[in-house]
Amino acid sequence: MRVQKEERQTHKPVLQAHFRSEGDVHLTRAFFYYQDSRDYAAALQELALARPNLPNSAEVPYFAGVIERRQNQWDLSTRHLEEALQLAPRNVQYISELTGSNYFATRRYADAIKVLDETLAWKGNDFGLGLTRAFMYFFWKADLEPWKELVTGESAKNADPNDLITARLNLALTERDYHTAEQILASPGGNGFDDDGFFTPREFNEAIVARALGNTAKANVAFQAARERAAAAVRQRPDDSKALMALAQSDAELGRKEDAIREGERATQLLPVEKDWLNGTELLVRLTGIYAQTGEIDPALNILEEMAHNSGGASYVSYGSLELDRMWDPLRGNPRFDNLIAALAPKSRSR
């Protein structure tokens, strides 16, 4: 579960050909290097060429910031996103990126909440910003109250229906309120839940809920259905790391340990952190969950401990997620895991 949607899905330079300057051309080239080929060095080079011709463009530092964090350069990325926001202080996309990705990933939770509160003062009942704010409290302090208030409050009336269903379902699963989760899954909605291309079939969540409620037979049927959907995606796109990881997670739930680990490790090889820190690390965290579930405790803890000390690691290893996420249940009671939670615990639980 990520706080911030992938930036490239929602922001793209829109240029009219007859108005293009030399700087605009370099900016457009940078975007396509970034989006189409993940050639981040070439994209940054184009942005450097664009900057002198576009001194007041917020897009130049913005794209530099979103590229640099994929290279695990969080301090530089944050400076550039802050620069972009200074140039365009009411750009909600920039606000979301800075708070929901950078401040969150570097554990600047209080700074994120401050910016979000200031924004919501003029933006009103913006569900997306409200959800980002709620997630800060969850990941920082394992505090679910802002999340509960959001999905039942005024902002929920303005939310995209799929976003609201996903937020309500994730909250119910985090609270281990499986009866509520069952009701949400039975309501009208899509066939799955998409977290930046990490697709979770509806059947997978139905299986988690059924097993928690003691219906093992129903859970196994649903896990098998989820596996078949993931396997079909892999057959169509054998080099799709995200589809392969979905297959690995289903196999882990079905007790197919060797298949799950092989598929999960292959997924991380297809898109390693060296190529794309954000998606590569997300894949690695999911592999860590597979290790934990299949009894490979030491490899799981090794990865978690390394991530906890990595700049930007809070995107995936935070106090709230380790404290409450069912993924880590097999590690509970292990001294190394307990020490990790204690090290990440906030000094104060109050708001």
**Which residue type sits at 34?**
Y
Taking the C-alpha atoms of residue 103 and residue 77, their distance in angstroms, rounded to an integer, is: 11
> Rg of the Cα trace of the chain?
21
The pLDDT, as a whole number, for residue 190 is 56
Contacts with 63 (C-beta within 8 Å, 6 or more apart), sequence order: 27, 30, 31, 34, 43, 47
Tens-digit pLDDT profile for residues 12-63:
554 444 445 789 999 999 999 998 888 999 999 999 999 999 999 999 999 9
186 pLDDT higher than 50 = yes
Tens-digit pLDDT profile for residues 317-343:
999 999 999 999 999 999 999 999 999
**Which residue type sits at 143?**
D
The pLDDT, as a whole number, for residue 312 is 82
Taking the C-alpha atoms of residue 156 and residue 211, their distance in angstroms, rounded to an integer, is: 29
If 0-12 CB within 10 Å is exposed, 13-18 middle and 19+ buried, where does residue 121 land? Answer: exposed
The pLDDT, as a whole number, for residue 10 is 43
Taking the C-alpha atoms of residue 249 and residue 256, their distance in angstroms, rounded to an integer, is: 10
The pLDDT, as a whole number, for residue 75 is 96
The pLDDT, as a whole number, for residue 191 is 61
What does the block give as tokens for 310? 């990595």
Tens-digit pLDDT profile for residues 108-150:
999 999 999 999 999 989 999 999 999 999 999 999 999 999 9
Tens-digit pLDDT profile for residues 188-203:
765 666 666 788 899 9
107 pLDDT higher than 50 = yes
Could you report how far apart the first and last alpha carbons of the chain are, in Å? Answer: 23
pTM equals 0.90
The pLDDT, as a whole number, for residue 319 is 96
In a 3-state reduction of DSSP, which class is residue 5? coil
Tens-digit pLDDT profile for residues 60-101:
999 999 999 999 999 999 999 999 999 999 999 999 999 999
Taking the C-alpha atoms of residue 198 and residue 282, their distance in angstroms, rounded to an integer, is: 9
- Residues 257-272, mean pLDDT to the nearest whole number: 98
Taking the C-alpha atoms of residue 215 and residue 211, their distance in angstroms, rounded to an integer, is: 5
Bridge partner list, 200 = 193
Bridge partner list, 195 = 198
The pLDDT, as a whole number, for residue 198 is 83
Half-sphere exposure of 163 (CA within 13 A, CB side): 20
